[in-house]
Amino acid sequence: MAGHSKWANIKHRKARQDASRGKVWTKVIREITVAAKGGPDPDDNPRLRLALDKANAANMPKDNIERAIKRASDKSTGNFKEILFEGYGPYGIAVIVETASDNNNRTVANVRSYFNKYGGNLGTAGSVEFMFDRVCNFKIKTEINLEELELDFIDFGVDEVIQDDDGDVILYSSFENYGSIQKEIESRSIEIVSSEFERIPKQMKELSEEKKEEVNILIEKIEEDDDVQTVFHNMN
């Protein structure tokens, strides 16, 4: 009986891991499909390059990736698109929700229900987006001096260069410079640890730990939705 119980625990644990991986793959596939609408060639489509990087990082099979790119040109997925939601969480925390959906009504209803149920309210387009800067970043491994690196990349639109606690270097720039910066990094054979698009708050809002927990519940519920790609907020 003990052996059976142990095996049951292993199966449940594996099921949770598989479910988690499946959710990641679902989000990445949608991101690839939306990005590929801007062109199937990653060399000419920075957003697709980023989505493919995420797919590789998630160990997604090549067949899945190729189907997602092909799906972008399929007429049956013509209504598959990005929808941006803006609103406020508890205590006036600004929240931006990026989604990729083939059913606008479903996504709108779901996101609105999360805000309503967990102490927030969904706003109109432009109600909080102005509070964030849209940027891209690259985490790289290099021995080049930070000041020298910043001078080298300033012509490619890099605004800031910092070093994190692990010793990796992070380059920040406006999101439209993603493609030119990535190509320059690769031409120098510098290892890219990760890259992503972000919406960085212009001002952060401080809350008590108890109030933060209420906001986190809302954010977690939104992030669990399959249509949701990313959630940004200005809570410190």
Predicted confidence at residue 110, as pLDDT, reads 97
At 13, which amino acid appears? Answer: R
pLDDT at 3 over 80: no
pLDDT tier for residue 222 given thresholds of 50, 70 and 90: very high
CA 136 – CA 172 distance, rounded (Å): 6
Secondary structure element (H or E) that encloses residue 192, with its range:
strand 191-201
Is the CB of residue 96 less than 8 Å from the CB of residue 233? Answer: yes
For residue 196, give Cα distances in angstroms to 9, 73, 117, 137, 179: 36, 24, 30, 6, 12
Cα–chain-centroid distance for residue 9?
32
Q: What is the pLDDT of residue 120?
A: 96
Q: Of 26, 43, 11, which is closest to residue 183 (Cα–Cα)? A: 43
pTM above 0.85, yes or no: no
pLDDT at 14 over 50: no
pLDDT for position 46: 78
The mean pLDDT value for 143-152 works out to 89
Rounded alpha-carbon distances, angstroms, from residue 71 to 20, 39, 52, 54, 178: 23, 12, 15, 18, 24
